[in-house]
Amino acid sequence: MRQVIVKVSILLLCFAIGACEKNQTIEKREVWSKERAKAWQDDIGWLCGANFIPSTAINQLEMWQEETFDTLTIDRELGWAEFIGMNAMRVYLHHLVWQVDSTGFKQRMDQYLSIAEKHHIGTIFVFFDDCWNPTYQPGRQPEPKPGVHNSGWVQDPGELIYQDTALVKVLEHYVKDILSHFSEDDRILMWDLYNEPGNSGYGNRSMPLVEKVFDWGHEVDPTQPLSCGVWNRSLTDLNKFQLAHSDIITYHNYDNDSVHQAAIDSLKLLGKPLICTEYMARRNNSLFSNITPMLKAENTGAINWGLVSGKSNTIYAWDEPVPDGSEPELWFHDIFRKDGTPYKQEEVDMIKSLTVKN
């Protein structure tokens, strides 16, 4: 009997430290069928919303860290979104906040979701991101650089994944913990696993993490769909993998209506619901007036970049800084000023005409 107990104890210890991992068979669910994806779309209806960060936060860390988590601003600004009929927000997370305080981070996510639900807004959470600054640290975040688009936004995990081989296990624990904790939360519309993989010159270097995060998601199998949006036609390997493994097809497009329509026509051939999770860059003629009605006519979700002008500086164009920080005549992104007045009343009227039932 003692020998049996010792053997069982050793097996349990092996499991705990991961020594037996390669001998385990982990069941993973299949990618959603077209029929299941269509049923999900029929249930939630047409999505119209924005990529959201409160105007008082420069990046994901400042949004979610305990010291700067600003529920008053979140409540106020989501109220403006509700007023124009928006029903969805796409919101970025960051593993570093979880790593510092996993319990507090999940509590703050729950607070955010409660505020959003009060305003009849569902949430698309984003895990990883290859855009903008490759390094980051907890604590006080930098002040915005005058006139510079997203001067403080940070990647996740950024360059650190190429410097710290142990980080992958941290990221796995993070993703699985968040997905498991919120796996049946109907306030969450969808999990966007990785924003613009391959951006910032990473290219196919991002593929291993894309593959892993889909594996982790399929192992947890939350009730919400998983997706990873395509955004650059030249990244053919990434695009093929993302489209093949996403339950719902998501994509980014900042081009004019004719180019955008061609993208929709191509993606519709996959036979699954579409959501455009980034659009609306006024300089590029990607506008509420020409894109949003087209997206509704195509029953394609419409999530523009930017709700309220703030510390992210996204009223300035990606590659056109304004060194003195003066307001550009033509805003690049965003709908409202910090006092709640719209940048262009006709844009708000257009959105309301598509979202608010008389």
- Are residues 337 and 84 in contact, defined by beta-carbon separation less than 8 angstroms? no
3-state helix, strand, coil in the chain (%, to 5): 45, 15, 40
Structure tokens at 155: 């990647």
Name 281's Cβ contacts closer than 8 Å, sequence gap at least 6: 254, 305, 317, 332, 333
Q: In this predicted model, which residue has the larger pLDDT, 18 or 87?
A: 87
Residue 10: pLDDT above 50? no
Distance CA 117, CA 125 (A): 14
Q: Is the whole model's pTM more than 0.85, yes or no?
A: yes
Question: Helix, strand or coil for residue 127?
Answer: strand
Tell me the C-alpha distance between 344 and 323, whole Å. Answer: 24
Joined together, the tokens standing for residue 267 give: 């993606």
Q: Report the pLDDT value the prediction gives residue 93, as an integer from 0 to 100.
A: 98
Report d(CA 150, CA 333) in Å as an integer.
11
Residue type, 174: Y
CA distances from 77 to 86, 121, 207, 247 (A): 12, 12, 36, 30
Is the Cβ–Cβ distance between 232 and 251 less than 8 Å? no
Question: What integer is the mean pLDDT of 328-349?
Answer: 98
pLDDT given at position 28 = 79
The residue among 112 and 8 whose pLDDT is bigger is 112
Can you give the length of the chain in residues? Answer: 358
pLDDT tens digits, one per residue of 116-146: 999 999 999 999 999 999 999 999 999 999 9
Q: Which pairs from 350-355 meet CB under 8 Å and 24+ separation?
A: 350/288, 350/289, 350/292, 350/293, 351/48, 351/84, 351/85, 351/86, 351/288, 351/292, 352/84, 352/85, 354/48, 354/85, 354/292, 354/293, 354/296, 355/48, 355/84, 355/85, 355/86, 355/87
Cα separation values, 122 from 65, 99, 115, 291, 299, Å:
22, 25, 10, 22, 17
Local confidence band at 358 (pLDDT 50, 70, 90 cut-offs) = low
Query: Distance between CA atoms of 239 and 231, rounded to whole angstroms?
Result: 8
What's the mean pLDDT in 217-223? 98
Q: With 50 as the cut, is the pLDDT of residue 229 above it? A: yes
The rounded mean pLDDT for the chain is 93
Segment among 19-33, 277-291, 311-325 with least mean pLDDT = 19-33
Contact indicator for 152, 141 with CB cutoff of 8 Å: yes
CA atoms of 128 and 209, how far apart (whole Å): 9
Q: Tell me how far apart the alpha carbons of residues 275 and 302 are, in angstroms, rounded to a whole number.
A: 6
Nearest to 214 by CA among 229, 196, 204, 228: 228
* Model confidence at 232: pLDDT above 60: yes
User: Closest Cα to residue 341, out of 317, 309, 299, 316?
Assistant: 309
Average pLDDT over residues 41-53: 98
Residue 356 reports pLDDT greater than 70 = yes
Model confidence band, residue 14 (pLDDT cutoffs 50, 70, 90): very low
Per-residue DSSP letters for 142-159? Answer: PPPPTT-TTTT-B-BSTT
Per DSSP, the three-state class of 48 is strand
